[in-house]
Chains A and B, each alone.
Chain A
């Protein structure tokens, strides 16, 4: 018993902790929940409290060899089992293997008459029995406040709750107590008064019709913890918290150079291409070949045997594959080799945080060396400006920390000054390529130039940007014989 406990006590401060096994949560709590103490998890209805409590127990039983007891005041054991089955938790199996006890406590106000003095000893006895039956190390109580609805004697209740939390501590179990968020208070009945060690707040906000779940460690006595609000996801693998802290500017800059997949472009970038781990932005008006440039970058990375993640907000994977085939890039074959993964979603499908969360998760799973977001503007349109900027900063920080080269495309609306449109983004970008229509004598050509590129002597030349069956071709504008351009321009119109 003692050995398994000390084994998980990983904390720099020496405070013993019980790892939750929930992705990201252990990071922001610096190791997990306070071991042998109760933690309060509060939030409004539907914010994921029950799930967090349940996952804490399931992971405890399956990953850390710590059986658990789930006391449910709201849902029956069957309901609970069904609700979490979609998340891959097989509660029946855990119960059968004596790793979990589900105890539904029913308190029905209409059936109860109160007269005189009483206490909640029976609840303690039930809980004690359940703990002993599996040797539980973890307890979840969801939602204790139902008692306030079922029993009317507040002073008895409060005294008994205080006793319950002390009792849980005395039993040495790591407990998660959930509480419904009140009006202006953390919990409707002030449970926070009794739990002084760790308080976690969950939030489910809807902004511009898009919802985002967030988690925050409000208080964690005796340990350092992240104080920010972190977005979290609930999907088929349970909860994952995205500890996208402001990593700031701590990432190490690589001196390695990688090809953009277009030889002439590498030449323009100091002759050797982009820095690994840098952030590239390709901006331009509609139809100027931004996606094609990004596809070249991907193709080159896959040729080097590096994994790429392509996040598209405009085209489906098959459409992208077809279109890039027309310029000679066989992206589909990289997908088959598991070097390339497409992620196509509509920007409006989820909130901004959710996009970032999904991306974060995908990156962790797939471990790409190059990430393309096409276009980043769609991302930015999914939320308000401030949120978008903060999000982009976090995304870039995250990718940089991971040493991932990022390629963003950006759609510039007609009529806007090309450089001004992404003013907020600009400072975050290392290499900025602009594709724009140029009017020369009687001609309209696509011109590409490097607006900026940090840390290299880049070209100041404007190159003519031509899409051919063999991919992107960059030509010298001045050197191009006029008739060829005219022929090309006509040809592409036909």
Chain B
């Protein structure tokens, strides 16, 4: 975790990770998400905003978000096989899922994260 930057809160000020993780006890239904960005671009900012909004709505109290800036930690791109920016990785629950893009489409993001099964 030391190699990562904490997510910024809704107000835009950097927040420590603990403030986002609202549950203190290990939860089987806990969602561990990691968002890869490269600098503070409009796309990254949009992706993080969209993600936080989505989590608050659909996974309240069950999630943690970790933001990795590849401009600061370029070597981390290889481990999670990151090609595109922004990339959202669902680390937990397993298996790993990835969603690329600014997450502007809530439905597709939910499908990508498998929070919701794709509709008929």
Write the chain B residue with the least CB distance to A156: B84
Given the interface contacts A118-B102, A122-B36, A126-B77, does A113 sit within 8 Å of B109 by beta carbon? yes
B77 near A125 with CB under 8 A, answer yes
In whole angstroms, how far apart are the Cα atoms of A116 and B70 in the complex? 20
The 8 closest A-B pairs by CB, nearest first: A113-B112, A116-B104, A116-B102, A116-B101, A115-B108, A115-B105, A122-B82, A121-B85
In whole angstroms, how far apart are the Cα atoms of A147 and B100 in the complex? 13
* Inter-chain contacts of A118 with B (CB < 8 A): 43, 84-87, 100-102
Q: Which of B5-13, B19-27, B56-64, B91-99 forms contacts with chain A?
A: B91-99
The yes or no answer to B74 lying at the interface (CB within 8 A) is yes
In whole angstroms, how far apart are the Cα atoms of A114 and B102 in the complex? 9
A to B CB contacts below 8 Å, 11 in the list: A105-B81, A107-B83, A111-B97, A114-B99, A114-B101, A115-B112, A121-B84, A122-B70, A122-B77, A122-B84, A125-B71
A114 near B96 with CB under 8 A, answer no
Hey, which bits of chain B sit against chain A, CB under 8 A? Answer: 36, 38, 43, 46-47, 50, 70-71, 74-75, 77-78, 81-87, 96-105, 108-109, 111-113
| Interface core residue of A111, A115, A116 (most chain B CB under 10 Å) | A115
Contact residues of A between 92 and 145, Cβ < 8 Å to B: 103, 105-107, 111-123, 125-126, 128-129
The yes or no answer to A195 lying at the interface (CB within 8 A) is no
B46 near A116 with CB under 8 A, answer yes
Write the chain B residue with the least CB distance to A160: B84
The yes or no answer to A151 lying at the interface (CB within 8 A) is yes
In whole angstroms, how far apart are the Cα atoms of A120 and B112 in the complex? 19
In whole angstroms, how far apart are the Cα atoms of A115 and B111 in the complex? 10
In whole angstroms, how far apart are the Cα atoms of A121 and B86 in the complex? 9
* Inter-chain contacts of A116 with B (CB < 8 A): 43, 46-47, 50, 101-105
Hey, which bits of chain A sit against chain B, CB under 8 A? Answer: 103, 105-107, 111-123, 125-126, 128-129, 147, 150-151
B108 near A113 with CB under 8 A, answer yes
* Inter-chain contacts of B74 with A (CB < 8 A): 125-126, 128-129
| Interface core residue of A125, A126, A147 (most chain B CB under 10 Å) | A125
Write the chain B residue with the least CB distance to A106: B81
A113 near B99 with CB under 8 A, answer yes
Q: A342 to nearest B CB, angstroms?
A: 52
A122 near B108 with CB under 8 A, answer no
B112 near A121 with CB under 8 A, answer no
In whole angstroms, how far apart are the Cα atoms of A120 and B50 in the complex? 20
Q: B114 to nearest A CB, angstroms?
A: 9
Q: B84 to nearest A CB, angstroms?
A: 5
In whole angstroms, how far apart are the Cα atoms of A150 and B103 in the complex? 18
* Inter-chain contacts of A103 with B (CB < 8 A): 78
In whole angstroms, how far apart are the Cα atoms of A123 and B81 in the complex? 9
A122 near B103 with CB under 8 A, answer no
A120 near B43 with CB under 8 A, answer no
Given the interface contacts A122-B36, A122-B70, A122-B77, does A115 sit within 8 Å of B83 by beta carbon? no
* Inter-chain contacts of A126 with B (CB < 8 A): 74, 77-78, 82-83
* Inter-chain contacts of B96 with A (CB < 8 A): 111
- Partner pick for A113 among B47, B81, B98, B104, CB 8 A cutoff: B98
In whole angstroms, how far apart are the Cα atoms of A114 and B100 in the complex? 5
* Inter-chain contacts of B98 with A (CB < 8 A): 111-113
A115 near B103 with CB under 8 A, answer yes
* Inter-chain contacts of A147 with B (CB < 8 A): 83
Q: A67 to nearest B CB, angstroms?
A: 18
A123 near B75 with CB under 8 A, answer no
* Inter-chain contacts of A114 with B (CB < 8 A): 99-101, 108
* Inter-chain contacts of B105 with A (CB < 8 A): 115-116
In whole angstroms, how far apart are the Cα atoms of A126 and B77 in the complex? 6
B111 near A120 with CB under 8 A, answer no
* Inter-chain contacts of B112 with A (CB < 8 A): 112-113, 115
In whole angstroms, how far apart are the Cα atoms of A111 and B90 in the complex? 11
Q: B106 to nearest A CB, angstroms?
A: 8
In whole angstroms, how far apart are the Cα atoms of A151 and B99 in the complex? 11
* Inter-chain contacts of B102 with A (CB < 8 A): 115-118
In whole angstroms, how far apart are the Cα atoms of A105 and B82 in the complex? 8
